[in-house]
Amino acid sequence: MVFSRASGILLHPTSLPSRFGIGDLGFEAYRFIDFLEQSDQKIWQILPLGPVGYGNSPYMCYSAMAGNSLLIDLDSLCRQGLVTLDEIAYPPSFPIDRIDYDLVRSYKLPLLRKAYDRFKTSATPEQQQAFQEFCQHSASWLDDYALYMAFKQHFGDLNWFEWPEPIAKRDPAELAKWRGKLADEIEFCRYLQYEFHGQWSALKQYANDRGIEIFGDIPIYVAQDSADVWAHSEIFCLDPETGLPTEMSGVPPDYFSETGQLWGNPVYNWDMLRKTGFKWWIQRFKAILEYVDLIRIDHFRGFESYWSVPGGDDTAMNGVWVEAPGREFFLKLREELGELPIVAEDLGVITPEVEALRDEFGFPGMKILHFAFDSGPDNPYLPYNYRTPNCVVYTGTHDNNTTIGWYEERGSDPNQWVWNYLGCSRGEGLNWDLIRLALSSVADRAIFPMQDLLGLGADSRMNAPGKATGNWDWQMHPNCLTEDLISRLRFYTGVYGRTPARPDHSESN
């Protein structure tokens, strides 16, 4: 896919400011899009939008296709008359720079339940029709997800493979009986997805009308405890009796870890997926493309070959490389969808075979400036070594430290190479030096985390891989999007030839 020269910002919606404890799809999201437009940015990159479970990781969701109901804007529900001003007038004293997920759930979920109860009795015929049309349109994933979440609530949040056996194994008669018993809870789950989808679609349209693309993310694997694995167990490597993985995902031992990384997700039964014409994967891409314009595939190399660890192992040491039918899959996906708006996350140890798969389909790869200064002049992440403009350059990603945090943890000696490369600073801070380096590179797309624009330190990083708790909870302070920040970002975007042509939206919204 051919991209124009442009730049953008990585900020997950949960990190937007909000008086309701977590970023949402309301005023601050629209304000952020206005900030992007005013500063001549064309891309808003986000993390997966799915409903988060234990650990609150957007990469371990209860569904690969549903939306996170915690993102639903309460002010919008108030304007619809589904919650009252009194009910949202005095929210708890939420932290100003961190998301307290437990407190957010205890506050928002009862209000979402009230909104649903009122929707049942007060929805107009047009709203009822829109709800039914959404449910029909999304039935391929929504029906299983709503039933799964209803069971999760009924069984006290147990994993699906701990449910009574007839339900865990999806006995048709048993499921039919429970659909009747849990009908209201199922409908509540459907309503939340309807509301999320409506709010997100309006927000995405607002961005697109201003020439801004939403850049989303597909994790290659899904959580073991998810509606997808429960409803489609045949396409995963599972023990048919226990429902546990017989083969697990991860990466092999390397310089950074003697035992490798054991992720624990079930790997795919690619033979079964091939027999279905990759139906589930195609449905997944179609569903995600309703949310976003461009997709980053996390762990892209797993489509060429993946590290398969025996089920039950405690480390990734005993895994083996298994070939995956990535070329066959992407040919089928292109046949279904046409030109594929995909970026390949090709970081780490990448083989010539993975590069060949990426290049055959023209997928841009990724370049990370934080990785550029740990070896000599041949380092592939140094901008003068970029062999093609068909790539996306980042200062760092959501898995990296902030640029200020990265610089401070390196110490003085390694940072001499950084200064030798960057030359004389304009005195705006190392974060802006790296932002300018990204913008000035030949890469078609340049993206930087919001934390780097704000010059924040290590305590504001989004995720520290391998750290069990305390991730995914960074929240931006209100009033950070200043005129000075807009002017500076717009200036450098223009200096380095990334200013977009904007559509005329003088009569919109």
Active-site hit among 187, 336, 399, 408: 399
Strands (E), 148-253: 213-219, 247-251
CA 439 – CA 497 distance, rounded (Å): 8
Residue listed under structure tokens 């437009």: 37
| Phi, psi (degrees; rounded to nearest 5) at 362 | 70, 25
CA 291 – CA 400 distance, rounded (Å): 25
CA 63 – CA 58 distance, rounded (Å): 10
CA 32 – CA 10 distance, rounded (Å): 11
Q: How far is residue 154 from each of residues 70, 147, 182, 225, 391, measured CA to CA in Å?
A: 20, 10, 8, 15, 47
**Spans of the chain below 50 pLDDT:** 506-509
Tell the CATH superfamily of the 6-221+279-303+326-495 domain. Glycosidases (3.20.20.80)
**Residue 505: its pLDDT value, please?**
52
- In sequence order, the β-bridge partners of residue 245 are 238
- What are the extents of the domains in the chain? 6-221+279-303+326-495
**Residue 130: its pLDDT value, please?**
97
Asked whether the whole model's pTM tops 0.75, one would answer: yes
SS3 430: helix
**Residue 509: its pLDDT value, please?**
42
pLDDT digits (tens, 9 = 90+) for 370-409: 999 988 899 999 999 999 999 999 999 999 999 999 999 9
**Residue 175: its pLDDT value, please?**
98
**Residue 428: its pLDDT value, please?**
82
Strands (E), 349-404: 365-368, 391-394
**Residue 222: its pLDDT value, please?**
97
Active-site hit among 24, 228, 345, 433: 345
pLDDT digits (tens, 9 = 90+) for 211-256: 999 999 999 999 999 999 999 999 999 999 999 999 999 999 886 6
**Residue 508: its pLDDT value, please?**
44
**∠ Cα 72 88 451 (to 5°):** 55
> Catalytic: 298?
yes
Residue listed under structure tokens 């624990």: 264
The torsion region of residue 393 among left (phi > 0), alpha (psi -120 to 50) and beta comes to: beta
Residue listed under structure tokens 């960057």: 422
> Catalytic: 345?
yes
